[in-house]
Amino acid sequence: MKLKMLYAAMFATAMPALMLSPLASADISVEGSSVGNNLTVSSGNTATNIRVTGTTAQSIQIDAGATADNDNASSNYAIVLDGNLDSLTNNGTITATPVGDPDMQGAIDMDGDFLLDSFINSGSVIGDPTADGLDAISIEGTVSTFTNTDTGQLIGGDDGVRIDGGTYTGHVGTLSNAGLIKGKDDDGIQIDDATVNNLNNSGLIVSEVDNGIEIDASSILSLNNSGAITAEDDGLNLDNAASIDTLNNSGQITALNGDGIDLIDGSILSTITNNNIIIGGDVGIEISDSSIALLTNSGIITGQGDDAINLDSSTIHTLNNLGTIDGEVDTGLDIIDSTITTLNNSGTITGITDGIYLDNSTISSLTNSDSITASGSGDGIDLTNGTTITSLNNTGTISGTDNGLELSDTGTLIGLLNNTQTISGGDSGLDIRADAAINSLDNSGTIIGLDDDGLRIDASTITLLDNSGTIEGAGASGFDTSGIYASDSTITTLINSSMNSIRGTDHGIYLDTGTINDLTNTGLIYGGDSPSTTSDDTDSGITVTGAGSLISSLTNSGIISGYDGDADSDASNDGSGIIIDSGGVITTLDNSGTIIGDDYAIYVSSGTLTTLNNSGILNGDIDLDSSTTNLNIIGDNARIIGSTIGTDTTVNINGNFSTEGSFDILTMNIDANGDLSLNHDIAGNLTNNGALQISPNSINTINIDGSLTQNSGATMFVDYDQNLSPGNEGTNSDLLVITGSADISGTVRFISKDMIDAASTNPIRIIDTSGGATFIGTIDGIKGNFEELSAAGHAGSLGFAGFATDPNPVAVNASDSIALNNSALFLSGSCGFSSNNEAEGRSAGTYRHSHSDCLTPSRNLLSYTDGNPAWGRIILSQGSQQSEPGISGYDFNTIGLIAGRSRILDEHWSEGFSIGLINSKAEKHSWGTDQADSIYVGWQRDYLEEDRFYNFSLAIGYNQFDLERRVSIDGVPVTSSARPHAWTLAAKATIGEEWQTEKDTYARPSASLSWSRMQKSAYQETGAGDFSLKLDEETLDELRADVAVEVSMDQRADENSEQIDSTLALSLGISARLKKDDRRYNASFIGFGDDFTIQGDDENRILMRYGIGWTRHYSPTSNFFIGLDGAMNNDYHEHQLNVGFRHVW
């Protein structure tokens, strides 16, 4: 009794300090005594065994201390909530005193399904700090707001905070920590079968033994960490189907020996965003039989004992990495039996063994725009055991100390691999092995193996490989490498369009018992050592080796090159463009590009190249062994720079082809469209159905170890020079030496090499054969006695004797062109009416441009605008015309005098008459001179309406020619001459307009159509000795259409002058020249009978025409002019310089 009275007195004494509410409705008790609905433990006081019951308690505020003995409502907690409480605020210390059982002490216990609306701790809440006591705070009910401020400490002997649903609610609305939450023997925060809406940590959450935060069969809607979560085991642990909707980490999550974040047993993390650091002493993030919907990392995720991220039988829908994922001991991203739908890396994923490792897993889309690397002994990305990546898009770097990217095992597949940057390996850049596959590989970047091959395929498949970048085996340590090495594998389609190349130190592409169905190269495939290398290895652009090794179709329009760089190597095929050996097969090779080797362009040894189609360049020898059935040489750009061997090969020539090496083959056929320039010997039969030119660039002796057959419709060209004589065959005329027979049909045409016709009265051999020679064809280019068998001692030879000539480029040409050109010159010099040189006459200015090609710009002086003026003009012209096929070019000088009279018929019409004398002399490019004296009469009529003008002109001319050229008779040069004449008729119609763009500047577009005809008389060309050539009459027509624009600029003596001082004019246009027929003459050598044809190849041409000129006006009626006119296209050019003077009376 005395003790109770004493305790009552002491408690009553403390009542003012505790600030108790009235006792009428008392849900808060201290030491079992009710103290009301509000309790404040002020400074200097301590409350023991605080308990809340009922539903009316409002607040508890601890400013000093609260503690417990071992009997607070059968609980060893300082504060026990067995009822609802509006708020609990601690600014002091709430602790459990170790009384009785020291292992069972706690601080705050929410024991049951009750409600605490607000908890704020700015002080210390400690659950038995000296032993393995209970939690600092244990929550079984509901806390709406839980706040631990930056001065607050929640330290539990077991958990710092434990939220345990069990049979109760176990719910916290918002848990905010800015201070310290610490679990000494268990977790910093443990959430067991409970829920938390929002967990915000800006302070420190610590576990000395277990996990920083453990979530077991519980859920958190939002976890935001901007502070630190540190644990001995896992930083954050989700177990037993736990879930977090959103995790945002801008602080640090650290596990000393466990995982930074550990998801196991069906747990779900919907969205995780890491902007700072997640560190695992073992794994950074471990996901086992669990899932993450979205993981975004812009910070650091590190596994210091294992992987940075490990997935085992788990799923990540989207992983976006903008920061660093670093497996410091093992793998950056380790994926086993798992699925990632989308992986986007714009940061760094790195590991010691592999950057990313996938085992029996799936990634639908992997995009790398930064770095995925293995820094130790592994691969940048390693796929194995049936793994599938549907789409891998690399715009960054994938690199490994072993391989950049490795695929292995049956079922392992990449659907689409698109590389625009770098895939690099210390061994191979890309290694595919053990029945793995890539459906489509599109490389526009670099795939490089530093020591080994760029792309290595072993017993695997690539359906489509499209390379527009670089695939390289660099051989940095001196190893022999290939750009692509394929062994026992299949590439369905390989396309290389990159000049950056597929290349290796040994081979560009090495196919060993594998298959490429279709290989198309428009870029560079290169294999070989540098020039300083002395290796004896066989280097090649492409090697196909081993039985069963096959390229069905190889199409090359780029470069395939093999270079050994060792001239002393003992391997005969050291450097080859393509090697086929040991049973390898290429069915069809189509080359329109370049195949080059410093030894062989193509080398076949115990292999097969069935068909070789070449329209490009084969640079190096060709050894086809006994494999190739057909070598087809197609088009006009094909070259073989080297010798060709093929014991069973038929060479078919369809195009213009010139030999640059010998041929040892079965047979060579010149197709009907083929043209062979035979500069080297042939071992094999030769059949000509097209054109055979014997050493066209020089006179030579060519050996054919076989037979020669020329069929009807074919032509053989034989060259000779002016020193043609018996006994000098092979020196002054081409000679074929044939071991078999020679059967010649069709045409044999003889060509003068020095453009001087030659004749011999003694037989000249052209074919020397031991197998018999027959001739049933025709002769072109010579005229004389043609003998099947020539002089004694040359039995079996075929030769010719008598007069020989090739007059096509030398006998006719210049005189014909001069006649047509002088007609055009006369029309130009007879330009129609125009104004005078005074400004007031400008209204009729368009008259002076009634021809689109009047001598630029001489048209600027004409007569007055009334009366019937007369005029005269002197013309000097000098120019050049380029040679055309069968027509010699020439340089010419012309002088002409043209006079005329004009009259105005009415306000629109005017007409004029003119007469001209022109003398021209042409020095032909083929040892001859043509001179013409011509007289012309002309008429022209003009129509003017405002600024539009029309013109029609007509000219008739008579031309007398003096022709000379050089010929050689039995080696003696003589001069031949002739004096034909010709009539010409020319007509031209023009339409145009004049636009004044600004003062004294004019633009004049015009279009014209002209027709010219020359009818040349029959004539006879004679020279010394027996030389006499008769040519029949010939008619030549030409139609020409012109469209042009001229711009002229007038200059005055001063600004107000009426007199125009000078004019500068520029013109540019297009001209189409159409010939009715090639020029051709029926000719015969007098005394030798049969007629023959002289023919020139008059080509239709589209030309760009240009003109520039200047005129000086001395008065309104006189001027001087100088101008340059020309026409050109890509293979033809003509020009003339015109100078003249004109005066009007």
Q: Is the confidence at residue 689, as pLDDT, over 90?
A: yes
Q: Are 597 and 541 in contact (CB under 8 A)?
A: yes
Please indicate, yes or no, whether the overall pTM of this predicted structure exceeds 0.85. Answer: no
Percent of the chain with pLDDT over 90: 50
Fold classified for 813-886+904-1144: Lipocalin (2.40.128)
Cα separation, 657 vs 649, in Å, equals 17
Give the model's pLDDT for residue 572.
61
**What is the average per-residue pLDDT within 1115-1130?**
82
> Minimal CA–CA distance to 542: which of 576, 590, 572?
576
Q: Could you give the percent of the chain with pLDDT greater than 70?
A: 82
Question: Which residues does 783 contact at the CB level (< 8 Å), separation at least 6?
Answer: 802, 803, 804, 805, 1084, 1085, 1088, 1090, 1092
At 1084, the amino acid letter reads S
pLDDT at 804 over 60: no
Label residues 866-882 b or e (16+ Cβ within 10 Å = b). eeebebebbbebebbbe
Q: Give the residue among 1012, 906, 927 at the shortest CA–CA distance from 974.
A: 927
Rounded CA-CA distance 77/58 in Å is 20
| pLDDT given at position 841 | 33
| Least confident residue range of 12-21, 196-205, 670-679, 741-750 | 12-21
pLDDT given at position 666: 94
Three-state SS string over 242-298 comes to: CEEEEEEECCEEEECCCCCEEEECCCEEEEEEECCEEEECCCCEEEECCEEEEEEEC
Please give the Cα distance from 406 to 67 (Å, whole number): 64
DSSP character at residue 17: H
SS3 3: helix
Radius of gyration over alpha carbons of the chain, in Å?
51
Provide the Cα torsion 830, 832, 837, 842; round to 10°: -160
The pLDDT assigned to 210 comes to 95
- Decide which of 753 and 1005 is more confident: 1005
Residue 1071 confidence (pLDDT): 87
In this predicted model, what pLDDT tens digit does every residue of 768-782 receive, in sequence order?
887 766 666 565 554
Q: What are the residues whose beta carbons fall under 8 Å from the beta carbon of 228, sequence distance 6 or more?
A: 203, 204, 205, 251, 252, 253, 254
State the burial class of residue 610 (Cβ atoms within 10 Å of its Cβ: 0-12, 13-18, 19+).
middle
- For residues 567-585, average pLDDT: 78
Chain-centroid distance, C-alpha 209: 60
The answer to whether the beta carbons of residues 547 and 530 sit under 8 Å apart is no
Is 60 exceeded by the pLDDT of residue 440? yes
Query: What is the average pLDDT score of the chain?
Result: 83
Residue 820 to residue 434: CA distance in whole angstroms: 78
Report how far residue 201's alpha carbon sits from residue 860's, in angstroms, rounded to the nearest whole number: 95
Note the pLDDT tens digit of each residue in 592-627: 999 999 899 999 999 999 999 999 999 999 999 988
pLDDT for residue 234 is more than 90: yes
For the chain, the first-to-last Cα distance in angstroms comes to 161
Q: What was the pLDDT predicted at 178?
A: 98
Taking alpha carbons only, the member of 601, 963, 1005 closest to residue 810 is 963
Instruction: Check residue 858 and give its pLDDT.
Output: 31
- Higher pLDDT: 1000 or 639? It is 639
How high is the pLDDT of residue 335?
Answer: 98
At 730, list the tokens. Answer: 């092979």
CA gap 12, 1 in Å, rounded: 17
Q: pLDDT tens, 71-101?
A: 555 567 888 888 899 999 999 998 876 544 5
Report the distance separating Cα 702 and Cα 768, nearest Å.
Answer: 10
**pLDDT value at residue 213:** 98
In angstroms, the CA 491 to CA 553 distance is: 12
445 has pLDDT over 90: yes
User: What pLDDT, in 10s, does the model give residues 295-324?
Assistant: 999 999 999 999 999 999 999 999 999 999
Q: Range with the lowest mean pLDDT among 347-351, 566-570, 979-983?
A: 566-570
Q: How confident is the model at residue 566 (pLDDT cuts 50, 70, 90)?
A: low
CA pair distance 880, 1126, nearest whole angstrom:
10
pLDDT of residue 658: 95
How high is the pLDDT of residue 364?
A: 98
- Coil/strand/helix, residue 592: coil
**What is the band of 1143 on the pLDDT scale with cuts at 50, 70, 90?**
confident
Quickly state the pLDDT bin for 13 (edges 50, 70, 90).
very low
Looking at residue 1114, its pLDDT comes to 79
pLDDT in the model for residue 236: 98
